[in-house]
Chains A and B, each alone.
Chain A
Amino acid sequence: MSEHTLAAKSAGQLNDEMLSSMRPPTWRWYGLAFFLGAVVAWGISAFTYQMMTDLSVTGLDRPVMWGIYIANFVFWVGLSHSGTMVSAILRLSQANWRRPILRAAEAMTVFSITVAGLFPVIHLGRNWVVYFFLPYPNQRGLWPNFRSPLLWDATAITTYIIGSSLFLYLGMLPDLAVVRDRAAGWRKKIYAVLAMGWRGTAREWVVFRQASTLMAALIIPVAVSVHSIVAWDFAVTVIPGWHSTIFPPYFVIGAITSGVAAVITLMIIIRRVFHLEEYLTPLHFDNMGKLLLVICLLWSYAYFVEVQTTWYAHEPIEWEVWSFMSGKYTPLLILMLIGNSVLPIAGLCFKKVRRSVKAMLVITLLVNVGMFIERYLIIVPSLSHKNMPFVWGTYSPSWVELSVTAAAFAGFTLMYVLFAKFFPMVAVTDVRELGVRHTDISLGRAKVHSLTEEK
């Protein structure tokens, strides 16, 4: 939103507009929540069926012992880099256009890492003894194996869930105070507890601002480490096609791509649904589009480098995995390259495309389709054609796995829908801060607008 329009509206009006998602729910909202809940319930019943029967209801076999569940896991962890990267990096670089986007991005991080954390439990052969992973002193003297990348996963994801939830909560603190002041009855009591007695004193703001900056600085290395650790699940093996040193940076880049694209998609949706057209302007899409362009270029670079070294050295087993993948999954591979590389790079170079909401929706949805395919194409073909040709195999997901995948998407959306109803979707106080700090001054012959920066 431009600073002039911000200054022109009263604070009460701004509050009303930005908090419009929290109005009493319409029957359309109930319908959407019910539909999403139904998909989630279907997925839960499919998973229960899997847990009561056995893993034969999935498409897994020897040698492809990891399939779409793990593709989901990696995809959702990747998506969780949205909030951290967008919110934290933009906070640290003090980019003003971040303000309306922050909350959506941070919430996305929390919900996608929550969904991601479910998949390691879902794909287990004996889910009921998952507590064996926990390091607790027991009478048998057993401890879990921290040399295993799966335990690094568990540690990193726990850290990231806690860290990103706290990051989200911290950012919401002043906004929760605004919501508390506008609420009544039992709602007011709950928001009062959440707002922790925030009054907005000058001292509180000083500490808040410094804490936000420190949290942003701390959460970025955690995010990078989380996806590197997920990449090491694959990279530290002896499986051809997985054992590649580029995997950690490649996965982190892929995660940022996925996350930035998802934030843009989300921005488009909430802009439409909550009538935030004045707050999420073409300028925001322009800047996010530039960010997405850069990161898609990086992703394309990493992918090109990986394939090029495989092709040139032509090591038989590695080349076999690549040719098998490109031969059997050609349509998926092409869709992935179009979605992740060709379309974003070609389209986002143009300002008109970046500022067009419709074009951005298409591009960003295709980026995430491409990223999901990319996860699948990393996992399944390498396992299908391992070192011993006699046990080469294939895999295709079963209805149980697809149901759980659908439930994951529905569950994520449902959490988002509920969040938007009960919590401020736009960083109200952050946006209003822009209006407060803006003033018009006469410089020479013109009246220019100036913005007070932090010292």
Chain B
Amino acid sequence: METLGTFKDVETATRAVEGLIKTGFPEETITSLTSASYPDGVIVKTDQRTWFRWAAVGGGIFGACSGFLLAAGTAWLYPVQTGDKPIIAFYPTGIVTYELTMLFAILGTIVGMFLEMGIPPWSARPYDPAISEGNIGISVSVDSREQMVRAGKIMEAAGALSIRH
């Protein structure tokens, strides 16, 4: 469950974040929603480590194997003599393998990125379209109704324009 408060500017948003942290909400459960990216720590601190690049590596390896199978494998399956060139030739196999490696690395990057971001989401999550107009959203992950109400009160006190759940 998330509680989302929308704030007019950085000052009120940071007041809300500090208020939430002081009353015991751990910083990992608090995140900002902005339409332009703010430097890390200005509003909230976020873990900068990501794992999606391994999906890119995995994609690249898959691509390399499939490229090799495509160029060398199909030539082996259907060996037709052309010119004085070997049936499985070095440069053509290398070029096709390279292209498919890059293609699947790119696909892996995109898929890994979406997986790590967690979008498209399985369930509805609170959002305020006003965020696109420059407002800043502060969202707290809460477990109980009591926490939800408490978080909402703190954000209202800090100057939230609206609260959504």
- Measuring CB to CB, which residues of chain A are less than 8 angstroms from any residue of chain B? 10-12, 14-15, 135, 141-148, 151-152, 155-156, 158-159, 162-163, 166-167, 170, 174, 177-178, 181-182, 196-211, 214-215, 218-219, 221-222, 225, 229, 429, 432-433, 435-437, 452, 454-455
* Given A143-B78, A436-B36, 18 new contacts (CB under 8 A): A15-B134, A146-B96, A147-B85, A151-B96, A155-B100, A163-B103, A166-B106, A196-B114, A197-B121, A198-B119, A200-B137, A206-B48, A206-B50, A208-B37, A215-B110, A218-B105, A433-B37, A436-B37
- Kindly state the separation between the CA atoms of A158 and B82 in the bound complex, as whole angstroms: 25
Q: List 26 A-B contacts (CB under 8 A).
A: A10-B133, A11-B36, A12-B134, A14-B134, A142-B78, A145-B80, A147-B92, A151-B96, A152-B96, A158-B103, A159-B100, A159-B106, A162-B103, A166-B106, A181-B132, A182-B132, A202-B32, A206-B46, A208-B113, A211-B52, A211-B109, A222-B99, A222-B103, A429-B37, A436-B37, A436-B38
Contacts of B78 in A (CB 8 A): 141-143
Most buried by B among A158, A200, A202: A202
Contacts of B11 in A (CB 8 A): none
- Kindly state the separation between the CA atoms of A177 and B71 in the bound complex, as whole angstroms: 41
Tell me if A's interface is mostly helix, strand, loop or mixed.
helix
Closest Cβ–Cβ distance, residue B11 to chain A (whole Å): 13
- Kindly state the separation between the CA atoms of A167 and B110 in the bound complex, as whole angstroms: 9
Given A12-B133, A162-B103, A206-B48, A201 and B139 touching (CB < 8 A)?
yes
Contacts of A14 in B (CB 8 A): 134
Q: Is the CB of A207 within 8 A of B93?
A: no
Q: Is the CB of A196 within 8 A of B119?
A: yes
Most buried by B among A159, A210, A433, A435: A159
Q: Is the CB of A203 within 8 A of B103?
A: no
Pick from B38, B82, B102, B117: contact of A203, CB below 8 A: B117
Q: Is the CB of B132 within 8 A of A221?
A: no
Pick from A152, A207, A219: contact of B113, CB below 8 A: A207
Most buried by A among B35, B43, B75, B89: B35
Name the residue of chain A whose CB is nearest to the CB of B36: A432
Q: Is the CB of A146 within 8 A of B37?
A: no
- A-B contact count, CB below 8 Å? 182
Given A145-B82, A146-B93, A455-B40, A155 and B99 touching (CB < 8 A)?
yes
For the complex, count residues of B whose C-beta is within 8 A of A.
Answer: 62
- Measuring CB to CB, which residues of chain B are less than 8 angstroms from any residue of chain A? 31-40, 43-44, 46-48, 50, 52-53, 56, 70-71, 74-75, 77-78, 80, 82, 85, 89, 92-93, 95-96, 98-100, 102-103, 105-107, 109-110, 112-114, 116-117, 119-121, 125, 127, 129-135, 137, 139
